[in-house]
Amino acid sequence: MTASASVTPGGANAAYPPEGEDAALSRWQRLAGLLSRCYLAAQRAARALVSGVHTRWRRSLQLRVVTTTLAISGLVTAVLGFFLMQQVQAGLLDAKQDAALHDHRAGLTYALSVLQDSAESDRDRQLDRITEDLGARSGSTGLYEVIILPSVGGMTGRASGDVSEASVPERMREEVRNSTELEKQFYGYTEIIRGNGTEPGLVVGSQLSSAFELYYLFPLDHEQEMLDLVQGTLLLVVSALILLLAAIAYVVTRQVVIPVRQAASSAERLSSGDLTERMKVQGEDDLARLAVSFNDMAGNLQEKILELEELSQVQRQFVSDVSHELRTPLTTIRMAGDLLYDDRDELDPTMRRSVELLQSQLERFEELLADLLEISRHDAGAATLAVEAGDIRDAVLRAVGDAEQLAERRGIKVVLRLPAEPCVAEFDVRRINRILRNLIVNAIEHSEGKDVIVTAAGDRDAVAVAVRDFGVGLKEGEEHLCFDRFWRADPARARTTGGTGLGLSIAKEDALLHGGWLQAWGMPGKGAQFRLSLPRKAGAELRGSPLPLAPPEMAIGRGRVLPAAQTELDSSWSGGLGDTP
């Protein structure tokens, strides 16, 4: 038996493209990639150029003035140039028409006189003579060409030079033939056809006799040259004028812009704190008056600021001195009050109540003096930090423990939401504990009997604690006023905790001393939330907070997405007072 085998077209490698096609496809791909990169680079360069020009346009008064002057002057000169060219062109054409009609009238008179003196049999020879004589009158410059055309068929026309009879428009011929007046002139514009091309021209014609018509063709090349010369000269003058106006605008605006820039620089230096900055006064014009007024304003401002600084220094010194001086008599009164308070059980009920009131007011007086001393230290820049590494969760638990009795008296539950992992940061334990205790006490005081939520969180660079209540909340703008000294949201509201009105101010100063933030959020009827944010490392710049300023439920209500970190915190654990992770 004979074995046979079939071969698939293309052989064993038919499923793969030939090696040459692979190389060509690779080259096209590289070329396409190169073109794409070039296009993107050009697009970025164009965007950068447009952005740079736009920025320069917005920031440079001089550029806007010069550019506007160029645009307006260019538009005005273009309009004036257009009308000027129209007037020049009309004047040249009118003069050419008058001269053409005069020359044609003279030639027509001569031709009529020749035809009247000739016999009918000699008509062809006389037409040749008329054409030759009239063509000779145009001179060597070729002022015009003469064409005599028959009005009826069967006759031949005559033309001087190499001009074609087709140069006369058919429409004009119809007007001339249909004219009832023998010597009435018609004129119009046409293309003069010669053996070597065409040129624009003016044609004038009239009836020479009942059988013939006389036409003059006037080339307009001289007028075109004059128009080109005028147009070129006008463009040159207009360009020079625009550049001159731009230069004038540049010089004029420079005289105004430079003093304005100097005034702006002086104002920037003055606003940055350089109270000795003054402008140079040159001349007696409006800019000089501006400089004088600026210098007077700067001088008055410097005097007022110095007066305020001196007054502030006196006030700070007064508060510090009074606070220190009051501690001595307060210590004596405190000792006497403590003796009376220890023996209050031996006194009658009325005296015992008086001794208890004296003890509570002495404690409030001591808190007020301590707050005044702390404020005076911050004002004097003498406040310092005893930084150590600590877990912010421990600080929260200590502050909640300090407010435990107040929460129990008010029947309020403090809910803790602390992360399972430690949130270690470098901070002054005493000051941070004071901040948190103040925030929690304030929240309990304004919670209207509802729960208070304390949340802590941390990320790579910062830690934060948020204290949330569901009380009366804050009105618009009060989130900043609440940190002012002795400010109260409701002056008519009775104080039950005996606060001094300086707690939030001191807390704000303590947070700033750590390089952190103390911020407030509130809505009427929705409660308030205070957020303390601290950098993990002392002295580092705080760029963000692990907790949102607005409560999560309010953020969701505004259409915002709840951060994943906040969701994890809320789901970690939630307990009552004293709970631990």
Confidence label for 343 from pLDDT (cuts 50, 70 and 90): confident
- Is the pLDDT reported for residue 10 higher than 60? no
Same domain flag for 160 and 176: yes
Q: Is residue 220 part of a domain?
A: yes
Domain boundary among 357, 383, 409: 383
Domain boundary among 211, 239, 274: 274
Q: Is residue 347 part of a domain?
A: yes
Q: Is 497 exposed, middle or buried (0-12, 13-18, 19+ CB in 10 A)?
A: middle
Give me 200's structure tokens.
């624009």
Residue keyed to tokens 């970190």: 565
Percent of the chain at pLDDT exceeding 90: 12
Confidence label for 30 from pLDDT (cuts 50, 70 and 90): confident
Q: What is the pLDDT of residue 293?
A: 87
- Is the pLDDT reported for residue 361 higher than 90? no
Q: Is residue 238 part of a domain?
A: yes
Q: What is the pLDDT of residues 418-453, one digit of tens each?
A: 999 999 999 989 889 989 988 999 899 888 889 999
- Is the pLDDT reported for residue 299 higher than 80? yes
Q: What is the pLDDT of residue 140?
A: 57
Same domain flag for 436 and 555: yes
Same domain flag for 355 and 390: no
Nearest to 463 by CA among 397, 395, 535: 535
Q: Is residue 32 part of a domain?
A: no
Mean pLDDT of 179-187: 82
Question: Where in the sequence is the domain holding 76, given as residue range(s)?
Answer: 54-274
How many separate domains does the chain show? 3
Q: Is residue 33 part of a domain?
A: no
- Is the pLDDT reported for residue 572 higher than 70? no
Q: What is the pLDDT of residue 565?
A: 32
Q: What is the pLDDT of residue 424?
A: 92
246 alpha carbon, distance to own chain's centre? 27
Q: What is the pLDDT of residue 18?
A: 52
Mean pLDDT of 481-487: 79
Same domain flag for 390 and 333: no
Confidence label for 119 from pLDDT (cuts 50, 70 and 90): low
Same domain flag for 233 and 142: yes
Rg (CA), the chain: 51
- Is the pLDDT reported for residue 267 higher than 50? yes
Mean pLDDT of 257-261: 80
Same domain flag for 379 and 390: no
Q: What is the pLDDT of residue 253?
A: 81
The angle formed by the CA atoms of residues 500, 505 and 508, to the nearest 5 degrees, is 145
Q: What is the pLDDT of residue 436?
A: 93
Same domain flag for 481 and 547: yes
First to last CA, the chain: 90
Same domain flag for 354 and 394: no
Domain boundary among 227, 257, 274: 274
Q: Which helix (H) or strand (E) holds 474?
A: none
Nearest to 439 by CA among 365, 506, 375: 506
Same domain flag for 261 and 324: no
CATH classification of the domain holding 203: 3.30.450.20
Q: Is residue 80 part of a domain?
A: yes
- Is the pLDDT reported for residue 95 higher than 80? yes
Query: Which has the minimum average pLDDT: 243-257, 278-292, 358-372, 466-480?
Result: 358-372
- Is the pLDDT reported for residue 210 higher than 90? no
Q: What is the pLDDT of residue 372?
A: 73
CATH classification of the domain holding 330: 1.10.287.130
Q: Is residue 29 part of a domain?
A: no
More confident residue, 531 or 69: 531
Q: What is the pLDDT of residues 302-321, one digit of tens each?
A: 888 888 878 777 776 776 67
Confidence label for 380 from pLDDT (cuts 50, 70 and 90): low
Which residues have a Cβ under 8 Å from the Cβ of 69 and sit 6 or more positions away?
A: 245, 246, 249
Same domain flag for 239 and 158: yes
Same domain flag for 365 and 296: yes
Same domain flag for 422 and 372: no
Q: What is the pLDDT of residue 125?
A: 83
Phi, psi dihedrals of residue 154, rounded to the nearest 5°:
90, 0
Q: Is residue 496 part of a domain?
A: no
159, 146 in Cβ contact below 8 A?
Answer: yes
CATH classification of the domain holding 428: 3.30.565.10
> How far is it, in rounded angstroms, from Cα 398 to Cα 378?
24
